Structure 1
């Protein structure tokens, strides 16, 4: 399949022009500036996490990675992995949930899993690239659901056992989705054949790389968070001051 219209990030980047393809879309720059203002004013609990989230958002939405994601499905998946596994986690550290949330963690985990699977179904994925509103709906639902889930997982009000189960379930469902993409017998997602070949990939190889990215590297932040939660739950309670 060929997707003739990429509504956001512009035409697919090719090796000759990739490094010049920066995205200076005013709404994106305004959103990043607003986040920088909030972090600089000390409104967040962890300034370093806030700056880190902002830097990663600049990478995925402003840098040439944006245009490259129009060329390669694997880069689009990398973009999504950075959003849900890294940006959302950093935002959860910067703007944490200190008390028990109104929505139970299992519901947040399920909502994020639904968002991830829906937007990586071939039809929904193609629709998400067909218009600017659909594109931003994709981005905001992926990031928003992941942020709410990460806030609950990292919250001290959440029992460590429940947080570990949530991380394990998320790792499992992402790994399953990645495996299904890797072992698909044919390309399932809209691609630009010319630009994909220009980067040295066939559409199927590009898709397999995308699945591997979601299957293995995407799990690392969740494993790290799980080890941290397990370690903190095993440490002896500190004496009250």
Structure 2
């Protein structure tokens, strides 16, 4: 079996139509399964260690389970197989990866639970490896808001260049690289921008970068919507399944990128703006009380 055939293996149900296929390729199902098992084992250990932290652990577990389920739905369910024949389905799959699964998984803070699933020796080795100077230098460079926003934007725009998009459709390994870059830069983007304890001063920067991302992804969606020509004719082979012409399929995909995805990025920006205002008001009240106490 060729390399591309291995990566595109799927088990199809029903009449054998490609749109009915469940993608059960090992390069997808194995990482999903390992991540889920690691998180479950580590979360169970943490749950047993402390009763006081259980409400927090439960919220984190619900966020993780929801994010993982959305990730699995994008990569394993018939949506993935349909996305190779209908551009709108392909776009929905990408938005599920970047704008829904990634922020939910980041918000669940899964690293601690997954580390606790490992033996003590492995935990120590991973901790020591994380302190390596090269890794710390690279992480310090890419985990700045500007760098994370730039990398996420580059991944989105680069893979929508027609030549690269067509290559990803034609070659399984590039298709998985496309998904990995969308999801990976999405995780980085949301990890850098979502609020964490002690980082209230970063609210303003996060709001700006979320609004900017909403604008440039919306622009790409509008370009797809208003373009009079097909950008990806290879991705329109199954548009008759939805009674759409290939151009209508592209327009609908552009609308998906412009409106629902834009609402997620823009909504997150508005939410953080509200938290920023509330945090600033609280600090002003505390400063005022301290002044009156003197």
Q: TM-score by structure 1 length?
A: 0.85
Task: Find the aligned partners of 1:215 and 1:203 in 2 and give their Cα distance.
Answer: 18
Measure how far apart 1:10 and its partner are. Answer: 6.1
Question: 2:192 — aligned with what?
Answer: 152
Question: 1:117 — aligned with what?
Answer: 157
Measure how far apart 1:160 and its partner are. Answer: 0.9
Contact 1:12–1:69 (8 Å) recurs in 2: no
Answer yes or no: is 1:221 the counterpart of 2:261: no
Task: Find the aligned partners of 2:214 and 2:91 in 1 and give their Cα distance.
Answer: 16
Task: Find the aligned partners of 2:192 and 2:110 in 1 and give their Cα distance.
Answer: 8
Question: 2:174 — aligned with what?
Answer: 134
Measure how far apart 1:180 and its partner are. Answer: 0.6
Contact 1:164–1:229 (8 Å) recurs in 2: yes
Task: Find the aligned partners of 2:176 and 2:277 in 1 and give their Cα distance.
Answer: 41
Residue aligned with 1:28, SS:
helix
Structure 2, unaligned runs of 5 or more: 47-55, 112-138, 287-294
Residue aligned with 1:187, SS:
coil
Give the number of the structure with larger relative contact order, counting CA–CA contacts within 8 Å between residues 6 or more apart: 1
Task: Find the aligned partners of 1:75 and 1:14 in 2 and give their Cα distance.
Answer: 19
* Higher relative helix content: 2
Residue aligned with 1:146, SS:
helix
Task: Find the aligned partners of 1:192 and 1:166 in 2 and give their Cα distance.
Answer: 31
What CA RMSD, in Å, does the superposition of the two structures yield over aligned residues?
2.9
Contact 1:72–1:191 (8 Å) recurs in 2: no
Measure how far apart 1:17 and its partner are. Answer: 3.9
Distance 1:18 1:128, change over 3 A: closer
Give the number of aligned pairs.
231
Measure how far apart 1:220 and its partner are. Answer: 2.1
Structure 1, unaligned runs of 5 or more: none
Contact 1:178–1:215 (8 Å) recurs in 2: yes
Distance 1:86 1:159, change over 3 A: same
Contact 2:20–2:82 (8 Å) recurs in 1: no
Of 76, 83, 97 in structure 1, the residue corresponding to residue 97 of structure 2 is 83
Task: Find the aligned partners of 2:247 and 2:225 in 1 and give their Cα distance.
Answer: 9
Answer yes or no: is 1:94 the counterpart of 2:108: yes
Distance 1:64 1:28, change over 3 A: same
Question: 2:218 — aligned with what?
Answer: 175
Task: Find the aligned partners of 1:26 and 1:16 in 2 and give their Cα distance.
Answer: 20
Alignment of 1:179-218 (within 5 A): 179-191=222-234, 194-218=237-261
Q: TM-score by structure 2 length?
A: 0.71
Measure how far apart 1:187 and its partner are. Answer: 0.9
